[in-house]
Amino acid sequence: MQIKKDRSALHVFETLESEVRSYCRSFPAVFTKAKGHKLWDRDGREYIDFFSGAGALNYGHNEERMKKKLIDYLANDGITHSLDMATEAKEAFLKKFHDVILKPRTLNYKVMFPGPTGTNSVESALKLARKVTGRENVISFTNSFHGMTIGSLAVTGNTFKRRGAGVPLNYTVTMPYDNYFGADFDTIKYLKRFLEDNGSGLDLPAAIILETVQGEGGLNAARFEWLQKIEQICRKWNILLIVDDVQAGCGRTGTFFSFEQAGIKPDIVCLSKSIGGYGLPLALTLFKPELDVWAPGEHNGTFRGNNLAFIAATEALSFWETPAFEQKIKQKSERVNHFLQSIVSNHPGLQGEVRGRGLMQGIACAGDGLAERICREAFKRGLIMETSGPAGEVVKLFPPLTINDQGLDQGLSILEESIQAALDQ
């Protein structure tokens, strides 16, 4: 067989894998190795990771302590697959999650394993809310993202993703997220009016589902005060509050749960992405004990017990045993925020706006395709970043929470160079 010299590095993927593939188009390299905040490709090029598997790698790649636990578990023939049979690995996770995460936060939640992905958690949350309340409707918000299966798509804002469903997406209503119409428009008042008025045409919903910071929808961060008011609305009308913490959770916004600083207590919480710690698939649905109306086996699945993920996830919770980790995230978040603010004022051509919270920040850029060009320039310079927002208008910084100052500074300076290069084009 003759091998054409000029064929793309991604030839195998381009010929054998479906057109549906996406991130390999933004980052056209074949990756072989990763550690901490770094990745390497087949040609030995090194990259700084400001993407972190869209938030699935908050503790970085191949974290040493988790790796050791996994290797030991494998070496001892620890059980890998068990459906939802009781295993020691799962027992240890449940116990540590209770002791290290729930108890110190005075959160009383039952834990459900809905299947290994974020959308599995969202589907189970919607199903449970409808079962508990006997209502069908669910309120979601503009620019929300909750996953790709039909129920999750029905509460997702993005038109392109929604169209993929191929069927009507029913039993949901979209309401404006905080700041959707700008600072002068009170979206709480708007929502309240619909609930109060018998002529509004809005059926009382089973639940309101939201992200406290919209990861895919443009890094819009709801104000704590707005979240508190949403919680009050839920209490007043007996609506269940679902916080989808799949992306913003596990420390991304500075605290383990993204809603902690707002002082709210959602009825149901969805967790996935970084809960597995090592990038292994795992999802949890948490809910108040009185909502636990499931019949045994009513919501089922083959991969609800990923024991390797439990092993890594249990070790990952060690990061949360002392306040030191949160403090470090806070310091790094402030560093990122200062840097982004200075970029925005030093590069007026960006017409940039800093968005987000914690280590979930970015810059919304004016100008068609500018954010995408910045990310392309960054990739050329060895920095992996993606865009967010309905028009891909936000440059999104998602470094591992464990990144050291040197790595963070290196990434930030590549970002500034890339912005300059994109503006010069």
Ligand X SMILES: *Cc1c(COP(=O)(O)O)cnc(C)c1O
Residues forming contacts to ligand X in the complex (CB under 6 A) are 117-119, 122, 145-147, 211, 215-216, 244, 246-247, 272-273
- Helix locations, 60-212, DSSP H: 64-75, 88-96, 118-133, 150-154, 159-163, 187-196
54 vs 384 by CB, closer to ligand X: 54
Q: What sign results for the dihedral spanned by CA atoms 269, 273, 277, 280?
A: positive
- Helix locations, 117-270, DSSP H: 118-133, 150-154, 159-163, 187-196, 224-236
Q: In the 8-state DSSP scheme, what is residue 202?
A: P
Residue facing ligand X at closest CB distance: 118
Least distance from ligand X to the Cβ atom of residue 353, Å? 21
Q: What sign results for the dihedral spanned by CA atoms 43, 405, 272, 212?
A: negative
Least distance from ligand X to the Cβ atom of residue 146, Å? 5
Q: Cβ–Cβ contacts within 10 Å for residue 286, how many? A: 25
d(CA 183, CA 245): 25
Residues 6+ apart with CB under 8 A from 355: 218, 219, 220, 221, 361, 362, 363, 364, 394
Least distance from ligand X to the Cβ atom of residue 386, Å? 12
Least distance from ligand X to the Cβ atom of residue 55, Å? 6
141 vs 310 by CB, closer to ligand X: 141
Q: In the 8-state DSSP scheme, what is residue 3?
A: P
118 vs 358 by CB, closer to ligand X: 118
250 vs 354 by CB, closer to ligand X: 250
Q: Which amino acid is at 217?
A: G
219 vs 371 by CB, closer to ligand X: 219
Least distance from ligand X to the Cβ atom of residue 281, Å? 7
d(CA 281, CA 304): 10
147 vs 407 by CB, closer to ligand X: 147
**139: nearest Cα among 216, 52, 242, 228:** 242
d(CA 420, CA 425): 9
Least distance from ligand X to the Cβ atom of residue 246, Å? 4
392 vs 407 by CB, closer to ligand X: 392
Least distance from ligand X to the Cβ atom of residue 317, Å? 20
156, 170, 222, 264, 392 from 177: Cα distances, Å:
12, 20, 8, 17, 18
305 vs 407 by CB, closer to ligand X: 305
Least distance from ligand X to the Cβ atom of residue 150, Å? 13
